[in-house]
């Protein structure tokens, strides 16, 4: 039996699994593969150098799939912000009707997207921000626990607690994000009240993922001990893969008197991180990786991964249902 949830219905997908909107990774080949497998692929807008480039990426994705897919627009804390409105307009004009937003002060963007008939998913790391997003009119929340790759916020609340709090407090559907890479995590998220899951790290280690094979194999060999937090002292915490560069960043941050961003700028540059995915050297730069890397043991196609998780999660749910039957026989 399919896993039918409000999230799956709202997004028009068979399996409520959403691919994370990852910088340099959320490209057409991966997005289409996830959507074709029954989940929801997400193009990362800011991976594209301009709104016009995003248009081309959307068109390429549509040539590869007839299934629903979305676009992620992340609002960054920067002095010179990208053309967020331009990216949103490009997505809407190209017919995209599912948009994931993330970052601070998304109100204006959400208002525009809702006026255009879009289904809006907003990523949050706290319940207070989730409630604020509900007031802005979002349709689905993506609740990001401390285990996630990228920015987990500064409250350090793990998914087990954060999702249970979301179930207590939120009145709209939500997706569990962070720390999920297998069917056990999928089933647990549903049990905690989520209507689906978001996976980023797990989809990096798939055949269709547009990153170097050596990085995928590095992930398979890694454990849950192989991530690290940077930017802690700058109050912009990010979980990344533990390598020579990220450990150097942390060492600089721990110096007496702390560190300024200028002290680590070259080490953490996005261009350097992007080259990791191209040249296959896991120590070349900073790259995002969640704790769920410790659960990854293979590099399947997206079809194999989604199908496996769907089947195994259904089996777990059925087995849990039998626990009541067994108790009744006692």
Burial degree of 89 (CB within 10 A; 0-12, 13-18, 19+):
middle
Strand partners, 14: none
Q: For 104-159, write each residue's pLDDT tens digit.
A: 899 999 999 999 999 999 999 999 999 999 999 999 999 999 999 999 999 999 99
For the domain covering 6-211, report its CATH number. Answer: 3.20.20.70
Which two structure tokens, joined as six digits, stand for 139? 């349709």
Name residues whose C-beta falls within 8 Å of residue 119's C-beta, 6 or more positions apart in sequence: 10, 11, 97, 98, 99, 139, 140
Q: What is the pLDDT of residue 12?
A: 97
Q: Which residue is it, tokens 């006692």?
A: 330
Distance separating alpha carbons of residues 288 and 254, to the nearest angstrom: 21
* Predicted confidence (pLDDT) at residue 310 exceeds the cutoff of 80: yes
Question: How many CB atoms neighbour CB 212 within 10 A?
Answer: 17
Could you tell me where in the chain the CATH 3.20.20.70 domains are found?
Answer: 6-211
Q: What is the pLDDT of residue 328?
A: 58
Strand partners, 140: 121
Q: What is the pLDDT of residue 56?
A: 98
Q: Are 264 and 253 in contact (CB under 8 A)?
A: yes
Angle at which helices 28-36 and 302-329 cross, to 10°: 40
Q: What is the pLDDT of residue 326?
A: 58
């Amino acid at each position: 039996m399919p896993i039918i949830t409000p999230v799956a219905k709202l997004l028009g997908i068979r399996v409520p699994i959403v691919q994370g909107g990852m910088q340099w990774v959320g490209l057409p080949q991966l997005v289409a593969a996830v959507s074709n497998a029954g989940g929801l692929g997400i193009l990362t807008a800011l991976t594209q150098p301009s709104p016009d480039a995003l248009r081309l990426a959307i068109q390429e994705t549509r040539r590869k799939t007839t299934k629903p897919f979305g676009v992620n627009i992340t609002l960054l804390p920067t002095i010179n912000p990208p053309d967020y409105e331009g990216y949103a307009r490009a997505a809407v004009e190209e017919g995209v009707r599912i948009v994931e937003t993330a970052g601070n002060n998304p109100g204006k963007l959400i208002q525009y997207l809702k006026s255009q008939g879009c289904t809006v998913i907003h990523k949050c790391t706290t319940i207070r921000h989730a409630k604020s997003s509900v007031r802005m009119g979002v349709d689905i929340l993506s609740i990001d626990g401390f285990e996630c790759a990228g920015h987990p916020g500064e409250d350090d609340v793990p998914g087990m607690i954060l999702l249970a709090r979301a179930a207590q407090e939120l009145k709209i559907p939500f997706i569990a994000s962070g720390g999920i890479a297998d069917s056990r995590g999928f089933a647990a998220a549903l049990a905690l009240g989520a209507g689906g899951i978001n996976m980023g790290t797990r989809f990096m280690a798939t055949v269709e993922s547009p990153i170097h094979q050596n990085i995928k194999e590095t992930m398979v060999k890694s454990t849950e001990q192989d991530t690290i937090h940077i930017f802690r002292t700058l109050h912009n915490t990010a979980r990344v893969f533990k390598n020579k560069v990220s450990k150097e960043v942390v060492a600089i941050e721990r110096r007496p008197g702390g560190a300024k961003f200028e002290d680590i700028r070259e080490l953490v540059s996005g261009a350097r991180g992007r080259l990791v995915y191209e040249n296959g050297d896991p120590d070349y730069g900073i790259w995002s990786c969640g704790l769920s890397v410790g659960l990854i043991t293979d590099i399947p196609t997206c079809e194999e991964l989604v199908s496996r998780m769907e089947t195994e999660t259904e089996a777990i749910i059925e087995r849990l249902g039998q626990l009541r039957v067994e108790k009744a026989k006692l």
